[in-house]
Structure 1
Amino acid sequence: MTDTRQTGAARSYPFSDPDRLNLDPLYARLRKQEPLTRIRLPFGEDAWLATRYQDVRTVLGDPRFSRAASVGRDEPRTTPRQVGTGILAMDPPDHSRLRRLVAKAFTARRVELLRPATAGIANELVDTMIASGPPADLVETFSTPLPVRVICRLLGVPPTDQGLFRTWSEAIVSTTSLPPEQIMEYLGNLHAYMAGLIAQRRDEPSDDLIGALVQARDADNDRLTEQEMVELAAGLLAAGHETTVTQISNFVYVLLTHPEQLALLRSRPELVPGAVEELLRYVPLGAASAFARYATEDVELGGVLIRAGDPVISALSSANRDSEVFADPDELDLARGANPHLGFGHGVHHCVGAQLARMELQVAMETLLTRLPGLDLAVAEKELVWKSGLLVRGLRALPVTW
């Protein structure tokens, strides 16, 4: 076992600028040679980076690693501001209190009831694409409006206001894409808007998600503060569409650049649910890993002694390529069997919207495969432009034909 005091200089992290959806090869070397390595992010204190699957699961699931301990610390991060606030910076029992309220409203039944409506929206968007004719930008015409309309329907955001929060929510995933003052302005606008919706639901109860949260909160003996309620609703609104918007285009890009796997999926559409899980494993959504957990006591991890108070960051994308868990981990295999990927995290902070995202991604893939069997890139792959300055990797536009 290595003592932390015997380690060398911290590596600069991220290891490199995001290259499309390619995972930096250094992760593979670290998994074999140095699964716990010291890193230095652009902001905050130095940290440990866990790269192996089992170590990552331990950090995410072991109560000896705390998110709440990040409060008041100079948390390692890629943004000038602290991004892990609200429920993301809580441990049980405080975290459980908020999560319980969300779970009461964000049920699997509520999500499944949305599937027919989601399919209807997806088909309507494809109808518009077909009517306009190719080429089309899939990001603008399909990948973005589908999750936006679904999350607005789920939460009860009026359709006329959807463009507002679509603009404001970029502040939540921005690292350098927006100046600091604009990030604060957008976050303030988003929180003020959600506060208004919450107040409206108290006066006019509804059966949408915000209405259900308000009812659950007001009926709970351990009530949320108003600020917690606003932050929770704003986080659900933004997180409920931002990553899914990005992943729909990412998934389509991966399929179009893996023609044999795309042909398999077209010939066997029943593979779509498993294919979505494999794409969640294969695609490194994050531009870099984040949300450090702090050791609350000395812990041995990956042959290294993590001292109490040390922050540890989990590399989910690296864990999803661990050959100890996944056969041929760098290969896309849409017929892969058991797939215990960490695309939605693990432990108490496992993504609360995972079932909604799964449903939307399944519907998106099914609709595009069925309605646009000749879907293909309308430009050379090298001409595609990728977003920068965000916490997530994604295409700025995805020109397609069919």
Structure 2
Amino acid sequence: MTSTNPPQQAFVDHAALAAEPYDVYARFREAGPVHRITGTDGLPAWLVTGYEDVRQALTDPRLSLDKHNATPGGYRGMALPPALDANLLNMDPPDHTRIRRLVSRAFTPRRIERLREPIQRTADQLLDAVALQERVDLIVSYAAPLPITVICDLLGVDQADRLDFRAWTDILVAPDPTRPALAGEAVGSMLSFFTKLIADKRKNPADDLLSAMIAVRDEEDRLTEDELMSLAFLVLVAGYENTVHLIGNAILALLRHPDQLAEVRAEPGRLSAAVEELARFDGPVPLAVRRFPTEDITIGGVTVPAGETVLLSLAGAHRDPRRFTDPDRIDLDRDTSGHLALGHGIHYCLGAPLARMETEIALATLFGRFPDLALGVSPSELRWRPSMRSRGLLALPVRTARVRGTTDDH
């Protein structure tokens, strides 16, 4: 039955949502399938939390990613220049279909598989430094530098430029509300850098993803210059941010569930399945990319007007007991097929195989190297990024070895 009267605006505690999203989404899910809320930008949005509704909405062609389909004045996102905004997260078919098909030809399984050895080498090198410290922040020392190294290797970014890349990306994915000018400066720096890098790759192409994408652009002239630049930007930001959080959240989950960690250590062959369950349990993306109905549509019996912002809660869907039995528990034997952590439908994450590979290597190497690894603080002391759209730790303090005379109570 379609709702004739829109639900009242529901209050959202954004601080609680960043810290403990699953409790908040559970309350919304139990109260009804769709809620009108106020987003962090102060504007109304429609929140969908149940698994079936979220999964169906992810493939509904009437839910557009194109910001031009938003109600005028009804959506405010990060303002990016056209050269960085023409990316897959803002596109619908047929442009989305065309660009994804072209970039898929450059982003091949063979190219991804060639990164396995460099990923392992980087993980080993990072943990060599970690081993010298009794207490260490694994986000700063491991979960963050590993993906940025991999993405820069993939794109063909020189070693000397990687610290800048990481700094700019960190500013963009977690803007400081007290210093709004920093995000604009980071965007400008990144645009200048990519402009120069693409020019250099045109003159001196190499065996990397960016050179391959330039070849698609220049030889077939089926990518605009803005689309090429935006693709490179998207690969960097999404490939870095999401993988940092996927690795960090997975490490924390296993440290807090020693029985599951013991199973992984006893049977390393189960790690691949463990990554899928950990992505479901506490994935890096609580909300899918915002969408805008191209016409009035019905979701969960509620009418959502055309042009209004729709937020699909992957975190809520993944803890829906109608889809996953006892969803608040990690179960490495669970059938995780159909989880949405890496997307669903035509917007399924292009870099999913790379993210899986990085996470599996990161976990196997870390827990194989440090048998006594333990949280360095109480779980209640951990701090999360203040964001509805990403789920990641600001820091992950650990002890690399058990201190004699103490017990691990975390």
Deviation (angstroms), 1:199: 0.7
Report the 3-state secondary structure (helix = DSSP H, G, I; strand = E; otherwise coil) of the residue aligned with 2:239. Answer: helix
- Counterpart Cα distance in 2 of 1:149 and 1:357: 13
- Alpha-carbon distance between aligned partners in 1 of 2:334 and 2:371, rounded to the nearest angstrom: 23
**Residues 246 and 283 of structure 2 are in contact (CA less than 8 Å); yes or no, is this contact kept in structure 1?**
no
What percent identity do the matched residue pairs reach?
41
Distance 1:69 1:146, change over 3 A: closer
Q: Which amino acid aligns with 1:306?
A: V
Residue in 1 that maps onto 2:303: 305
Q: What is the CA-CA distance between 1:19 and the residue it aligns to?
A: 5.3
Aligned equivalents of 1:31 and 1:17: distance in 2?
Answer: 16
Letter of the 2:48 partner, please give it: A
CA drift of 1:247 comes to 2.3
DSSP-derived class of the 1:6 partner:
coil
The match for 2:321 among 309, 320, 323 is 323
Shift of 1:80: 6.4
Structure 1 residue 153 and structure 2 residue 130: aligned?
no
Quote the residue 1:25 is aligned against. Answer: 23
Question: 2-side partners of 1:178 and 1:247: how far apart?
Answer: 27
Q: 1:102 matched to which residue of 2?
A: 103
What amino acid is the match of 1:246?
H
| Distance change (3 Å), C-alpha of 1:257 and 1:217 | same
- Tell me the alpha carbon deviations over residues 290-346 of structure 1, each in whole angstroms, 9 at most, x when there is no partner: 632222233332112333334321011101111121111111112223432110122
Amino acid corresponding to residue 199 of structure 2 in structure 1:
A
SS of the residue 2:21 aligns to: coil
SS in 1 for 2:343: coil
- Residue by residue over 1:85-128, the C-alpha shift from the partner in whole angstroms, topping out at 9 and shown as x without a partner, is 42211101111222122211112221112112211111122222
Q: Secondary structure at the match of 2:16?
A: coil
Distance in 2 (CA, whole Å) between partners of 1:107 and 1:80 is 30
- TM-score between both structures, scaled by the size of structure 1: 0.91
Instruction: Indicate how the Cα distance of structure 1 residues 74 and 367 shifts in structure 2: closer, same or farther if over 3 A, else same.
Output: farther
Match for residue 404 of structure 2?
none
Assess if the C-alpha contact under 8 Å between 1:43 and 1:80 holds in 2: no
In structure 2, do the counterparts of structure 1 residues 81 and 363 end up closer, same or farther at CA, with 3 Å as the change threshold?
same
- Which residues in structure 2 correspond to 1:161-310 (within 5 Å)? 161-177=161-177, 179-222=179-222, 224-286=223-285, 289=287, 291-310=289-308
1:30/1:383 Cα in 2 relative to 1: closer, same or farther (>3 Å)? closer
1:167 Cα deviation after fit: 0.6
Structure 1 unpaired stretches of 5+: none
**Cα displacement string for residues 223-277 of structure 1 (whole angstroms, at most 9, x for unaligned residues):** x222222122122112211221222222111111111111121112111111111
Quickly say closer, same or farther: Cα 1:75–1:320, change in 2 above 3 A. farther
Secondary structure of the structure 2 residue equivalent to 1:63:
coil
Question: How far apart in 2 are the matches of 1:327 and 1:227?
Answer: 45
How much is the aligned-residue C-alpha RMSD, in angstroms?
2.4
1 CA distance for matches of 2:64 and 2:13?
22
8 Å contact kept, 1:12–1:41: no
Cα distance, 1:178–1:162 mapped onto 2, change above 3 Å: farther
Q: Aligned equivalents of 2:170 and 2:133: distance in 1? A: 30
Is there any run of 5+ residues in structure 2 with no aligned partner, and where?
402-410
**Counterpart residue number, 1:115:** 116
1:15 shift after superposition: 5.0
In 2, distance between residues paired with 1:11 and 1:50? 13
CA–CA separation in structure 2 for the residues paired with 1:80 and 1:141: 29
In the alignment, does 2:64 pair up with 1:66?
Answer: yes
Distance 1:33 1:27 in 2: 10
Are the equivalent residues in 2 in contact too, given 1:191–1:231 (CA < 8 A)?
A: no
Q: Residue 255 of structure 2 contacts residue 261 of structure 2 at CA under 8 Å; is this kept in 1?
A: yes
> Aligned with 1:206: secondary structure?
coil
TM-score (norm 2): 0.89
C-alpha distance in 2 between matches for 1:214 and 1:63: 30
Shift of 1:61: 0.8
Task: Write the mapping of 1:73-92 to structure 2, written as runs, cut at 5 A.
Answer: 73-76=72-75, 81=79, 85-87=85-87, 88-92=89-93
Structure 1 residue 211 displacement after superposition:
0.4
2:311 is paired with a residue of what secondary structure? strand
Whole-angstrom distance in 1 between the partners of 2:273 and 2:187 = 36
Looking at structure 2, the residues matched to 135 and 121 of structure 1 have their Cα atoms a distance apart, in angstroms, of 20
Preserved contact between residue 107 and residue 209 of structure 2 (Cα < 8 Å): yes
State how far apart, in whole Å, the 2-side matches of 1:271 and 1:320 are: 21
Distance 1:370 1:120, change over 3 A: same
Q: Deviations over 1:33-82 (max 9, x none)?
A: 310111121326422211111111222111111111545644546x6647
| Residue 14 to residue 171, structure 1, CA distance change in 2 (3 Å) | farther
**Counterpart contact for 2:80–2:187, Cα < 8 Å:** no
Residue pair 1:70, 1:293 contacting (<8 A) in 2 also: no
For this pair of structures, how many residues does the alignment match?
Answer: 396
2:39 maps to 1:38:
no
Query: Using a 3 Å threshold, how does the CA distance of structure 1 residues 384 and 62 change in structure 2: closer, same or farther?
Result: closer
Task: Find the counterpart in structure 2 of residue 342 from structure 1.
Answer: 340
Cα drift, residue 178 of structure 1: 6.1
Take 2:13 and 2:156, find their aligned partners in 1: how far apart are those partners?
Answer: 38
